[in-house]
Amino acid sequence: MREIYDVVVIGGGPGGYTAALYCVRAGLKTVLLEKLSAGGQMALSTQIDNYPGFEEGIDGFTLAEKMQAQAERFGAKTELADVFGADLTGPVKTVHTSEGDFQGRSVVLAAGAFPRKLGVPEEDALIGRGVSYCAACDGMFFKGKTVAVVGGGDTAAMDALVLSRICEKVYLIHRRDTLRATKVYHEPLMKAENVEFIWNSEVTELLHGDKLTGLRIHNKKTGKGSVLPVDGVFVSVGRVPASELFKGVLETDASGYIVADESTRTNIPGVFAVGDIRTKAVRQVVTAAADGAVAAHYAEEYLAEHR
């Protein structure tokens, strides 16, 4: 068995690395468990313009590397490990991973969220054959081609803009007739000559041979169906919190977000939830980072009371 850490952080996004940074600077022995590489969803963003301190913006991957390096400079340890379970009750908590068990007197959950699926038949089978959840990752595979983006939020708007610079034609399919996306995206989207909006519509079927060839669309207002030939579809319909592993142990809301207020404390003493995995109004890099600092504060307080 390894040493018992003061803090085990699960997830290496902005919330996780900020928690790790503040914990080690408070003298707490901290390990951060990350499945792939630093950054989480942030690392997939080509341009982040609303994280303070980078006046020209910064790409998410670089920002993630910087956050990791900063936390490690003060002694945070990163372990590449896939978490598949945890015993969170009791004074020493055990996190089960692909690389064995990690134990900590407190745990910060910062596992984030993953893309929500459309929920149409054969969606999984067509991933990598025309269905994608990340324009920044897969956009270049559709250079000069026709694609659709589904969704009306910031991610869909950003994806449509990124793709409009790479693809011949971009359809933006939204289930309502107004975008949820922040106003800053509206004008450039309306101005982009190769972006066409398809309002009040839902994708009901993925048409394909070996690869995706088109979408069957249902217009909710007219009740009419149509076929839209496309080479790719980018699904940007929101996110689902990565809280499945903790269901039944930690309190979650109806959408699966771990219930925690601004203090980041969950219903289990010594367990904190930060960033996109917790109940909150604004899910941004800057609010995830803020959560990390707050969690470190309350972890420190908890550990001082439970020595």
Chain residues in the site for ligand NAP (CB under 6 A): 50, 116, 118, 150-156, 158, 175-176, 180, 236-239, 283-284
Q: 252: which 2 tokens?
A: 């979650």
d(CA 150, CA 158): 12
Catalytic residue among 6, 59, 138, 291: 138
- 137 given a catalytic annotation: yes
Answer whether 260's CB lies under 8 Å from 279's CB.
Answer: yes
| Count, residues in the chain | 307
Provide, rounded to whole angstroms, the least separation between the CB of residue 50 and ligand NAP.
5
Nearer to ligand NAP, 54 or 298 (CB): 54
Q: Which of 157, 165, 118 is nearest to 139 (CA)?
A: 165
d(CA 276, CA 111): 8
| Chain residue whose CB lies nearest ligand NAP | 153
Provide, rounded to whole angstroms, the least separation between the CB of residue 285 and ligand NAP.
8
Provide, rounded to whole angstroms, the least separation between the CB of residue 52 and ligand NAP.
13
| All residues at 6 or more sequence positions from 6 whose CB lies less than 8 Å from its CB, including other chains | 23, 28, 29, 30, 104, 105, 106, 299, 303
Where do we find the tokens 């899910």?
Answer: 283
| Interhelix angle 183-191/154-164, nearest 10 degrees | 30
- 138 given a catalytic annotation: yes
Read off the amino acid at residue 207: L
Provide, rounded to whole angstroms, the least separation between the CB of residue 236 and ligand NAP.
6
Nearer to ligand NAP, 177 or 301 (CB): 177
Nearer to ligand NAP, 18 or 41 (CB): 41
Answer whether 232's CB lies under 8 Å from 211's CB.
Answer: no
Measured CA to CA in angstroms, residue 187 lies from 130, 180, 190 at distances of 28, 14, 5
- 258: three-class secondary structure by DSSP: strand
Nearer to ligand NAP, 171 or 302 (CB): 171
Catalytic residue among 87, 137, 177, 261: 137
- 159 given a catalytic annotation: no
- 153: three-class secondary structure by DSSP: coil
Nearer to ligand NAP, 207 or 240 (CB): 240
Nearer to ligand NAP, 216 or 297 (CB): 216
Identify the DSSP state of 180.
-
- 20: three-class secondary structure by DSSP: helix
Provide, rounded to whole angstroms, the least separation between the CB of residue 143 and ligand NAP.
23
Provide, rounded to whole angstroms, the least separation between the CB of residue 94 and ligand NAP.
32
Active-site residues, by number, are: 134, 137-138
